[in-house]
Amino acid sequence: MAGSVTVVAGPSGVGKGTLIRRVLASDTDLWLSVSATTRAPRPGEVDGVDYVFLSAEDFDNLREAGGFLEWAEFAGNCYGTPAAPVTDRISRGVDVILEIDLQGVRQVRANLPAARTVFISPPSIDALGSRLASRGTEDPAAIERRLAAAQDELAAAGEFDCVIVNDDVEVAANQLLAWVHKPANEH
Ligand code: 5GP
């Protein structure tokens, strides 16, 4: 039987990474797709693990060759999901998770109608603001920009098969895992 594809999206700071790490730790048979990007690696990021880091030219060549399941430009850099590793895993029955932005979700929905789309929502915009502030990685202006973007993303939540409110991390991670394992005819 083919593996499932679960696409996870949601605003910056909502805790998608934490939830996905929990889900991967509790089910080691799942596979998280490694995206390609033209963005420079951040300190500590490992090529092939966090992202496949490509030059703009290599990214364009791969895109023109039809090598991406989806791709998008975000904040001046390109990001894409290499198609072959995903289709190879699905055909071997492995369940796959993609963590991508809203533009990418729309393409996956068109290219892979069986994919399940999950939106991770903050309990409230205020909670998201506090989270971004306590993370300490953004200055107040950047937090404002991210919160404005979050409003747009929240407005798109209705497009998704499922919305998970990340209030209690353990509850939310269990909901995500249940969705990944849901039989294909039930979503
Ligand atoms: P960052 O630069 O912070 O790692 O990622 C920026 C944004 O790009 C995040 O919203 C992330 O979900 C999104 N992103 C990462 N990989 C992909 C991808 O393969 N495709 C798309 N469409 N978005 C991606």
37-53 average pLDDT score: 93
- Rounded to whole angstroms, the Cα distance separating 74 from 96 reads 23
For ligand 1, atom 23, the nearest C-alpha belongs to: 100
pLDDT of residue 144: 84
74: number of Cβ within 10 Å = 15
For the chain, the average pLDDT equals 92
CB 100 within 8 A of CB 10: no
| Residue 120 pLDDT exceeds 80 | yes
pLDDT of residue 187: 62
AA letter at 82: P
Ligand 1 centroid to 78 CA: how many Å?
8
Classify residue 6 as exposed, middle or buried by CB count within 10 Å of its CB (0-12, 13-18, 19+): buried
Nearest-atom number in ligand 1 for the CA of 39 is 2
Ligand 1 centroid to 101 CA: how many Å?
6
Q: Where does ligand 1 bind, in terms of residues with CB under 6 Å?
A: 35, 39, 70, 72, 74, 79-81, 99-101, 103-104
Percent of the chain past pLDDT 70, that is, above it, reads: 98
Nearest-atom number in ligand 1 for the CA of 104 is 22
CB 66 within 8 A of CB 53: no
Beta-sheet strand order (sheet of 36-37): 52-53, 36-37, 77-82, 68-74
Task: Extract the tokens encoding 82.
Answer: 């290499």
Q: Which residue from 5, 34, 74 has its CB within 8 A of the most atoms of ligand 1, so it is best to mutate?
A: 74
| Residue 43 pLDDT exceeds 90 | no
Nearest-atom number in ligand 1 for the CA of 68 is 19
Q: Shortest CA distance to 17 belongs to which of 86, 120, 146?
A: 120
pLDDT of residue 117: 96
Task: Tell me the Ramachandran region of residue 10: left when phi exceeds 0, alpha when psi lies from -120 to 50, beta otherwise.
Answer: left
| Residue 157 pLDDT exceeds 90 | yes
| Residue 38 pLDDT exceeds 90 | yes
